[in-house]
C-alpha cells in the first residue's frame, strides 16, 4: 500500500469517528478512525497486536508487515506504551471470538511518542510505592484500577446533583479567599491578598448560611483547605466537600436528607458502574435500611463498660468505633457543644456528664457525624440563627465579634432557622470502594508533604 505520510504531533484533518464501545456488529467491514494511546503491545515478528485505549476502553489493532509500508510498520514496532496514535482501518471480527472485534489498519498517524517505559503497568495494580506513582500522576491515572475509581467518582458527583436538584436545592459558589477563619482554630493556609493577609477557606459554612436567606435550599461542591499536620491515609490538605444548607429545618431533617442522599448514590453506582465494580472486585455497602443513630452520651456509656479510661467529652478512638460498628453507615448525634464550632446550636444539659471548671462541659449540641466504620464522612447540625446567641457562643469560643462583623450584620435582618452538613467526597469514595489511601480518591493530592505535581 502507498505510504501516505506519518506526521508526528500533527492531527491534521484526522478526527475520531468511533469510540471503542462503538466498535460492534453494526460497523463490521466499515472503515473507521479510532484515536487513543497504546496500553499494551504484543510483537510476533511480522505481526503486531496493539491495544489502543480511549476513554471508554480498548480496541485491538492487528498490524501486519505485508499490509503496511516498511517505515510505518517499523515505527509502530518501536513505539512504547503511552504513545498516541490514530488508525484508519476496517473493522473485522476476531477469528477466535464471535463477540470481539479488531481494526485492520489502512493508514496510521503517530501523534505523540513515549520516550521511556513507565515505571508501572496500566493493566493491573502495581506494587510500586504511592509516592512514585504520584510523581507521575497523569500516567498513574491511566491505570485500570484508577480509571474504574474515577468513573465511579463521576457517577457519584452526577447523582449528588440529581438528588439535590430533585429536592429543590440551588447550586451555589462561595469565595475561597476569605478574611478570617470560618470555624476558628489555627488550621488555616494564609495567603497574600494585595496589601493584606487572607486565608484559603476551610469551608463555605458562613456563606451558605447567609444564602439560605435568598434561596432557602443551597448546595456547593467545591474544594476546602485544612492546614492540619496529619500524615495518615485519610487526611488531605485540599479536599472536595459537598456542602448542603436548608432553611426551616433542624438537624434531624438533615440526617434524613443525608441518609437518603447516600442511599441514592449507592443505588446510582450499582445501576451505572457494575462493570467497574466487578473489575475492582468491590461490592458496595448494603443500604437497604435507614442508618442507625446513637447519641454521643449513649456511645460513651456503652464504651465505658469495657474501657474505664473514657470520659464524657473525649473524642472516640477510631479503633473502638471500628470494633463496635464494623463496616456500616451510622450517625453519632448530640455531641458536646464544647467539641463543635461556634455556629452550632446547643440543647439541653446531659445528666451523665461530669462537671468541670470553666464553661459547663455538659451542654449538648444539635449535631451529628455520619460515620462509616471508623471513618468520619460528614458533620452537620442545626445552626444558631439568633444574633445574641451567636455572639455569646463566639465569646465562649474566644472569637472576636469584629472579625465576623460581615456575618453578624446579616442577622439584623432575620436569618431563618436552618441546618446543614458537609460531606467529604474523597472520604465517601474511599469508604464505599474500600480504598487503602485517600490519595487514590483525588486526582492530584495535596498533603503536608506534597505540593507537586
Q: Which of 209, 287, 290, 190 is nearest to 247 (CA)?
A: 209
Pairwise CA distance, residues 262 & 374, whole Å: 17
Q: Are 241 and 219 within 8 A, CB to CB?
A: no
Beta bridge partners of 381: 367, 420
DSSP summary character for residue 82: T
Residue 379 is assigned to a ligand binding site: yes
- Cα separation values, 223 from 20, 58, 220, Å: 33, 33, 9
Q: Are 243 and 207 within 8 A, CB to CB?
A: no
Residue 67 is assigned to a ligand binding site: no
Residue 383 is assigned to a ligand binding site: yes
CA angle 436/438/439 to nearest 5° reads 110
Strands 367-372 and 375-382: antiparallel
Pairwise CA distance, residues 268 & 276, whole Å: 13
Residue 425 is assigned to a ligand binding site: yes
CA angle 244/238/210 to nearest 5° reads 30
Residue 102 is assigned to a ligand binding site: no
Residue 424 is assigned to a ligand binding site: yes
SS3 label, residue 175: coil
Beta bridge partners of 330: 292, 371
Q: Which of 285, 227, 223 is nearest to 430 (CA)?
A: 285
CB atoms within 10 A of CB 186: 7
Residue 427 is assigned to a ligand binding site: yes
Pairwise CA distance, residues 325 & 397, whole Å: 32
Q: Which of 287, 248, 312 is nearest to 370 (CA)?
A: 287
Q: Residues comprising the binding site for ATP?
A: 226-228, 234-236, 376, 424-427
Q: Residues comprising the binding site?
A: 183, 226-228, 234-236, 376, 379, 383, 424-427
Q: Residues comprising the binding site for Mg(2+)?
A: 376, 379
Q: Residues comprising the binding site for L-aspartate?
A: 183, 226, 379, 383
Amino acid at each position: 500500500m502507498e505510504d501516505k505520510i506519518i506526521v508526528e504531533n500533527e492531527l491534521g484533518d484526522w478526527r475520531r469517528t468511533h469510540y471503542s464501545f462503538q466498535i460492534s456488529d453494526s460497523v463490521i467491514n466499515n472503515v473507521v478512525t479510532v484515536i487513543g494511546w497504546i496500553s499494551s503491545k504484543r510483537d510476533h515478528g511480522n505481526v503486531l497486536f496493539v491495544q489502543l485505549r480511549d476513554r471508554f476502553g480498548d480496541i485491538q489493532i492487528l498490524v501486519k508487515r505485508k499490509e503496511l509500508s516498511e517505515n510505518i510498520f517499523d515505527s509502530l514496532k518501536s513505539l512504547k506504551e503511552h504513545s498516541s496514535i490514530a488508525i484508519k482501518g476496517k473493522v473485522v471480527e476476531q477469528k477466535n471470538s464471535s463477540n470481539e472485534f479488531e481494526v485492520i489498519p489502512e493508514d496510521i498517524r503517530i501523534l505523540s511518542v513515549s520516550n521511556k517505559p513507565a515505571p508501572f503497568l496500566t493493566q493491573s495494580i502495581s506494587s510500586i510505592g504511592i509516592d512514585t506513582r504520584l510523581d507521575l500522576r497523569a500516567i498513574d491515572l491511566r491505570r485500570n484500577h484508577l480509571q474504574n475509581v474515577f468513573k465511579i467518582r463521576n457517577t457519584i458527583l452526577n447523582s449528588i446533583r440529581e438528588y439535590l436538584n430533585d429536592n429543590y436545592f440551588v447550586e451555589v459558589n462561595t469565595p475561597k479567599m476569605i478574611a478570617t477563619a470560618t470555624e476558628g482554630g489555627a488550621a488555616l493556609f494564609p495567603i497574600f491578598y494585595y496589601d493584606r493577609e487572607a486565608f484559603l477557606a476551610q469551608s463555605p459554612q458562613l456563606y451558605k448560611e447567609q444564602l439560605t436567606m435568598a434561596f432557602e435550599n443551597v448546595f456547593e461542591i467545591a474544594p476546602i483547605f485544612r492546614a492540619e499536620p496529619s500524615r495518615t491515609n485519610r487526611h488531605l490538605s485540599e479536599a472536595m466537600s459537598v456542602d448542603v444548607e436548608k432553611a426551616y429545618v433542624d438537624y434531624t431533617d438533615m440526617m434524613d436528607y443525608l441518609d437518603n442522599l447516600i442511599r441514592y448514590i449507592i443505588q446510582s453506582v450499582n445501576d451505572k458502574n457494575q462493570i467497574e465494580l466487578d473489575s475492582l472486585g468491590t461490592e458496595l455497602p448494603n443500604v437497604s435500611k435507614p442508618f442507625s443513630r446513637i447519641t454521643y452520651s449513649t456511645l460513651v456509656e456503652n464504651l465505658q463498660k469495657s474501657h474505664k479510661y473514657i470520659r464524657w467529652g473525649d473524642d472516640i478512638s477510631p479503633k473502638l468505633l471500628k470494633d463496635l460498628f464494623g463496616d456500616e453507615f451510622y450517625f453519632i448525634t448530640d455531641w458536646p457543644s464544647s467539641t463543635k464550632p461556634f455556629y452550632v446550636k446547643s440543647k439541653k444539659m446531659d445528666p451523665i456528664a461530669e462537671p468541670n471548671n470553666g464553661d459547663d462541659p455538659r451542654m449538648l449540641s444539635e449535631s451529628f457525624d455520619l460515620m462509616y466504620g471508623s471513618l468520619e464522612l460528614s458533620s452537620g447540625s442545626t445552626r444558631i440563627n439568633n444574633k445574641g446567641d451567636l455572639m455569646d457562643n463566639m465569646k465562649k469560643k474566644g472569637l472576636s465579634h469584629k472579625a465576623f462583623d460581615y456575618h453578624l450584620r446579616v442577622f439584623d435582618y432575620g436569618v431563618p432557622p436552618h441546618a446543614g452538613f458537609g460531606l467529604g467526597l474523597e472520604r465517601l469514595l474511599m469508604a464505599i470502594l474500600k480504598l487503602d489511601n485517600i490519595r487514590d480518591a483525588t486526582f492530584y493530592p495535596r498533603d503536608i508533604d506534597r505540593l507537586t505535581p
